[in-house]
Structure 1
Amino acid sequence: MSESIDAAEADRALKARHRAMWAQGDYPAVAAEIISDLGTVLVEACGVGRGVPGEARVLDVAAGSGNAAIPAALAGASVVACDLTPELFEAGRQLAAQRGAEVEWRQADAEALPFADGEFDTVLSCVGVMFAPHHQASADELVRVCRPGGTIGLLSWTPEGFIGQMFATMKPYAPPPPPGAQPPPLWGDEDHVRALLGDRVTDIVARKQTVRVDYFKTPEAFREYFKERYGPTIAVYRAISDDPARTAALDRDLAELARRFDHGTGSTAMDWEYLLLTARRTGGEAGA
């Protein structure tokens, strides 16, 4: 009994750290300024909006400020956006209001979603659920809350793409992950996601695509932007803040990473690779 209590307390502490990490900086700015198109890409791949307006129920898991939830609502779906970090919702509410989208916002842990079995027609996540530490638990929840015949859609950074390589670059400077936690970019590996979902889905369609990022004038400008706004990068720098030599080394490594991916067009232009995967929940006919 004491071991289970200890495990539960450790998990609560881990989730509290995750919430705090994403609350720092300005992730809504990253989503809006750097990767704003990705939510629409995922929503369209999932076929949201092809039915009767308002009838389709969509859940955006680890929604952040609604990068996918808002396009889904604008496509005509009834949308719930959930995230472990409700501090991100205010920016999402403001953006939804500006665009005329109705979204329900709910705080929720991707590994223990507070929704009924089969409650949603489409369950999706845009570079979100990949950051939950226990991949199988999250995958099980994605499947559970999707109705038979419904759609599961995921857009995740690949291990070999820019963001995957950014995490690999930061890893030597970061504290060791807690036991059982898995690297986020594994969700960008098709075989890994297929294994997580197992025979509970069918009709898997997976393809790697890229988003062109030309927001930054220089590799150093990219580094400084992420140091100020992106929670995981902020957390790593804070972990080594008392070591100027390591801080300088990470500064060099992140700028060099951006330089390696730069197309050399005059200002820094990079293609960031992601895996776009959709699947149908088994147990029902397509479209049922």
Structure 2
Amino acid sequence: MGDASGESDADRAVKAKHRAMWALGDYAAVANQLIPALGTALVDACGIRAGTRVLDVAAGTGNAAIPAALAGADVVASDLTPDLLHVGRRIAEGLGAELEWREADAEALPFGDGAFDTVMSCVGVMFAPHHQASADEMLRVCRPGGTIGLLNWTPEGFIGRMFATMKPYAPPPPPGAQPPPMWGDEGHVRALLGERVTSVHARRGTVRVDRFTTPGEVGDYFKKNYGPTIAVYRNIAGTPERVAALDQELAALARDQASATDGAAGGGLAMDWEYLLVTAQRR
């Protein structure tokens, strides 16, 4: 099993901040209102079916874990933030999905070697600070011949650009932490997995988001519901001019993203958010 005992005080502090950040706002709303199709897309790409032993890493509120369970798989949904697991459990119960919910650090998973047929993550593991450690753990707990499935936001897509926009307003990242959208770069993911996998398939896709009417609504929604955005605004709360500047930059990003689309029904905004979907077989 992965061993978190070697963590430094600094590492533990980083994990505590991550746990608290993702408990802010309402991530279940983001997952269910904006990107509900992504979990099913990953489950389908992994070929998950009845009887498959599945681990969803950084599962959040179960955007991918719940569809996998509804497909008949034997699923463990793991996440660093227990608040998200509690919400996910309620959602699963309402849908009649049976699965296990387990608090776990993606960089030190509490599972045995080769314990799962499929190890996947849907816009989740990308937010663990040390990419290679997380990739190593996902590979370790996947059986030989099993499937690794990853769906992550690209640097060039809306969410990747949103993180780049927020970066100057955020506290400095901890030493050694890597930017989350790097998981949306195919070359980076291939390097993380290395020679330990075969049959790597990677493709970019988009999810249509047409919930919003104006560019300003997009930033307002993330300020209310999305933990990383809430944390950034808290960091600059004492400087109103910086808050106003970030408001304007996020609205401009939404406007730019919407400009290349056909527009939403009813005259609102429509954005196509880009992701990278990778599947591979454990060697």
Q: Secondary structure at the match of 1:130?
A: helix
Partner of 1:236: 232
1:36 aligns with 2:32: no
Unaligned runs of 5+ in 1: 283-288
Partner of 2:138: 142
Partner of 1:279: 280
Partner of 2:270: 269
CA spacing shift, 1:86–1:175, aligned 2, 3 Å: same
Aligned counterparts of 1:150 and 1:6: Cα–Cα separation in 2: 28
The Cα shift of 1:204 comes to 0.3
Partner of 2:191: 195
Partner of 1:151: 147
Aligned counterparts of 2:136 and 2:116: Cα–Cα separation in 1: 14
The Cα shift of 1:59 comes to 0.2
Per the normalisation by structure 2, the TM-score is: 0.95
Offset from partner CA, 1:201-230 (integer Å, 9 cap, x none)? 000000000000001111111110100100
The Cα shift of 1:264 comes to 6.0
Of 5-14 and 160-169, more deviation after overlay is shown by 5-14
CA spacing shift, 1:99–1:7, aligned 2, 3 Å: closer
Q: Which amino acid aligns with 1:279?
A: A
Q: Secondary structure at the match of 1:87?
A: helix
1:253 aligns with 2:249: yes
Aligned positions of 1:18-33 closer than 5 A: 18-33=18-33
Q: Secondary structure at the match of 1:169?
A: helix
Partner of 2:209: 213
The Cα shift of 1:90 comes to 2.1
Partner of 1:183: 179
Identity of aligned residues (%): 71
Aligned counterparts of 2:199 and 2:268: Cα–Cα separation in 1: 41
Q: Secondary structure at the match of 1:37?
A: helix
Aligned counterparts of 1:217 and 1:92: Cα–Cα separation in 2: 28
- Say which of 107, 117, 121 aligns to 2:113: 117
Aligned counterparts of 1:248 and 1:201: Cα–Cα separation in 2: 46
Q: Secondary structure at the match of 1:25?
A: coil
- In 1, are the aligned partners of 2:114 and 2:141 still within 8 Å (CA)? yes
- Say which of 79, 82, 97 aligns to 1:83: 79
Q: Which amino acid aligns with 1:275?
A: L
Q: Secondary structure at the match of 2:8?
A: helix
Q: Which amino acid aligns with 1:138?
A: S
Per the normalisation by structure 1, the TM-score is: 0.94
Unaligned runs of 5+ in 2: none
- Say which of 101, 105, 129 aligns to 1:105: 101
Aligned counterparts of 2:202 and 2:63: Cα–Cα separation in 1: 20
